[in-house]
Amino acid sequence: MRMIVFTLCLITLIVSTLSVPITDFLARPVRYDNHKLIQLKRSDAALDFISKNNLDIWHKASDVLHVRASPKDLESLAEFSPEVLIENIQESIDLETKSLKQAALAKRAVDDATWFQSYHTFTDIVQWLQNLSQKYPDLVTLVPSIGKTTLGKDIPALRITSKNGATKKKFWFQGLQHAREWIATTTMQYVADGLASGYATDASTKKLLDEAEIIIIPVSNPDGYEYTWNGDRLWRKNRRNNGGGVYGVDTNRNWPDHWNKGGSSTNPRDETYMGPSAGSEPEVRALMNYFLQLGNIVGAIDYHSYGELIMWPYAWIDMDPMAVSQYILLGKTMKNAIQHVNPQERYQLQQISKLYIASGSSSDWFYGDHVSQAQGFHGISIAVELSPADQQGVSNFILPAENIVPVGNETLHSIIAFIEYALAGKFVAKS
């Protein structure tokens, strides 16, 4: 009898433990009622107005801008003839929240079979990474912590390769520097799963993992990501306490390569706040230190959303790298791999600085002098803006979960093409 009572209590405790967190997480105090997503024609005047008024830019293309606008903001932007893409951003968030709650009720634990049908909390992601390493122990190694976040969370990494004793070139893929870009972390998870599961069934994947080691950082900004679940769905930065009730640094403006050279802000309230000094953020230092510790990393890609762009350095200055022609050929190879899965004419190729200046970015650091001197060669550095495209702004950061698999699948194919291209010696990076 005591055993029955104990078992019932344990079941109740487990169910309570699994159901309460999702409710707590999704009770976000920050709301965006009647805020709209608008599209403006890109111009210096529009960019200057947006900067001076500290408006939230969601996407920059060569010809248009996507901006979140409160009712008051919309009035002040009238001179730029805004086109409304989303009437009420909060309604999109509420629909996503409803879907997340339904998914949480449908399953009470991390489940491989349904994993890519929904987005997941950071805690569940860490558990899933552990499950993946246990499922494929000869291929996948979980590194529980490559360093700590601002709030003391561990930043996990995966190392994926066949353990054949060979000395291998390494490739680095990271996602979710910007917390609200949820599709970036699901894509990294999908790629990890696809590589591990494909080893036994796909000859090209087997060859790739026999010759190379893949490093994946699924969540580069755990504090910010968790805050998008329990505080503000549209939060972008990390959670540094800047004082005065102001939080966050844009980690992708904090890397110590031409830091504070433009395209970032000294105002802690801004979305692109660069931080108090180059490399000041624990998340950035953790990523850098682990990258340099591993060594022999011949290619790195930093994943963001949205816009469907394959981009390369430089970000800090509008100057072509000497390897620009090779980047174009590599970009076309990645684009062709995506089109093989999804034949639409979609991803565009772009040097970052031709689109916008962004000093202190990871893309410049991966390609820059510090890394090249440490490794003895210039590695390949790419930044990708995932789906949707800019003309599909109705989806934006709040991308429905049914997009997880198609975006993940096309990215997996583009990553395989990227690695094969590099291993074949087709890309020789120069300064």
Instruction: Compute the distance between CA of residue 295 and CA of residue 375 in angstroms, rounded to an integer.
Output: 6
At residue 195, what is the residue type? L
Instruction: Compute the distance between CA of residue 243 and CA of residue 326 in angstroms, rounded to an integer.
Output: 45
Contact between residue 410 and residue 186 where contact means Cβ atoms under 8 Å apart: no
- Phi, psi at residue 18, to the nearest 5°? -80, -25
Instruction: Kindly name the residue from 79, 385, 402, 410 that is annotated as catalytic.
Output: 385
* Burial bucket for residue 238 (CB in 10 Å: 0-12, 13-18, 19+): buried
**Is 87 known to be catalytic?**
no
Contact between residue 338 and residue 413 where contact means Cβ atoms under 8 Å apart: yes
Instruction: Compute the distance between CA of residue 219 and CA of residue 48 in angstroms, rounded to an integer.
Output: 32
Residue 202 structure tokens: 């796909």
- 385, 91, 87, 35 alpha-carbon torsion, rounded to 10°: -80
> Could you say which DSSP state residue 80 is in?
G
Contact between residue 212 and residue 170 where contact means Cβ atoms under 8 Å apart: yes
Instruction: Compute the distance between CA of residue 157 and CA of residue 74 in angstroms, rounded to an integer.
Output: 42
Instruction: Compute the distance between CA of residue 339 and CA of residue 336 in angstroms, rounded to an integer.
Output: 5
> Helix (H) and strand (E) counts for the chain?
14, 14
Contact between residue 359 and residue 264 where contact means Cβ atoms under 8 Å apart: yes
Alpha helices in 167-297 (DSSP H): 182-198, 203-211, 222-230, 282-294
Query: Which of 310, 336, 308, 312 has the alpha carbon at shortest distance from 322?
Result: 312
Residue 78 structure tokens: 């009238």
Rounded to a whole number of angstroms, the CA Rg of the chain reads 21
Instruction: Compute the distance between CA of residue 90 and CA of residue 33 in angstroms, rounded to an integer.
Output: 5
Residues identified as active-site: 385
